Amino acid sequence: MSRRILLIKPSSLGDIIHALPVLYALRDQYRDAKIDWLVNDGFASMIRDLPAIDNVILFERKRYSKIGRNWEATTGFLRFLKELRARNYDLVIDLQGLFRSGFMAFATGARERVGFAGAREGAGFFYNHRVPDASCDVHAVDRNLSLVTALGCPDGDARFDLALVDAELDIAKRLLDGVGIQHDERFVAVLPGARWETKRWAPERFVELIDLLDRDGVRCLLLGGPDERDLCRQIADGASTSTSNLAGRTSLRELAAVLNHAAAVLTHDSGPMHIADALGRPLVAICGPTNPARTGPYHQRSGVVQTDLPCVPCYLKSLRQCPYDHECMRTIGVATVAGKLIGMLRTESRTG
């Protein structure tokens, strides 16, 4: 009888990319297993069509956030747990490590429930196989893989295959053509957004950067999610050169397909940074309050631009919390970032 495995990693986008090597390690180890992935509905499209997954289990985060305060949400969540249990998983791996994810692992009734011993919010109480946490300087990808290594999966190269198909790449070409970027035209994808405001470089820096790159003959394309439309429009309007803008006009898979066409990608420490790194695109990542050794690009550490300050990393999310006036990002100069991008493009041009 084949194994029935559930991988719990509901969010966020970058964390889901970090979990892909676990999926592929499980698939290599248990070739005949049924492997499902429990994910927030907002990120499901990123993984739904991956050949290594048998089923995507949708967790309606917004709806279930009202558990205990709304009868419909509460009864809906209880039905969700009943359906999870009916799937008869024998192995559940909780990569989220929070109370809710640990509780869902327990609710499946699986014989083997695996997670980190140091999981937050008491989630470890729900596991019967607790794996010791790795060092704080270990990358999240390697930390995740330590769970499946503890289960007997062999060590190997981390795989991040997003399985983009020709139809998705063709959609990306049409989107690029629609904003005036022709087939095979080289461009830098610029993604100025990030969930934490402390992770963001100032919009005027991006304006200056785009103008500087334009003078060197480098074209830029702004990208971002629906909530980053205004930010990207502000930057496009501020630039002296006409700047293409696809912010809010792509799905997650379409965003990945567009990034796959880029000559280079400029991001903050964000989900798109991990997508670009997974795709192997030349990448420059502007990092501030976080530790790139843990959450930076897995393959392209040399692409990180970060100021060496004693307060870094602080992991503060709000500018109001920062006692140093956001010095970690203010002191990263436009010339430094532009020089790194231009050097990367020239290297790629010589080796491409």
pLDDT at position 68? 73
Give the model's confidence band at 9: pLDDT under 50 very low, under 70 low, under 90 confident, else very high: very high
Q: What span, in angstroms and rounded, lies between the C-alpha atoms of 120 and 102?
A: 10
Same fold, 4-150 and 166-351: yes
pLDDT at 137: 81
User: Is residue 352 predicted with pLDDT exceeding 70?
Assistant: no
Q: What is the mean pLDDT of residues 101-117?
A: 96
Model pLDDT, residue 63 = 82
C-alpha distances (whole Å) from 203 to each of 120, 209, 210, 334 are: 35, 10, 11, 11
Q: Quote the pLDDT of residue 128.
A: 94
Q: For 240-274, what is each residue's pLDDT tens digit?
A: 999 999 999 999 999 999 999 999 999 999 999 99
CA atoms within 13 A on the CB side of 90: 7
Is residue 350 over pLDDT 90? no
> Average pLDDT in the 78-93 region?
96
| Mean pLDDT confidence for 29-50 | 96
Mean pLDDT of 316-323: 95
May I ask the CATH architecture of the domain 166-351?
A: 3-Layer(aba) Sandwich (3.40)
Protein fold of 4-150? Rossmann fold (3.40.50)
Residue ranges of domains in the chain: 4-150, 166-351
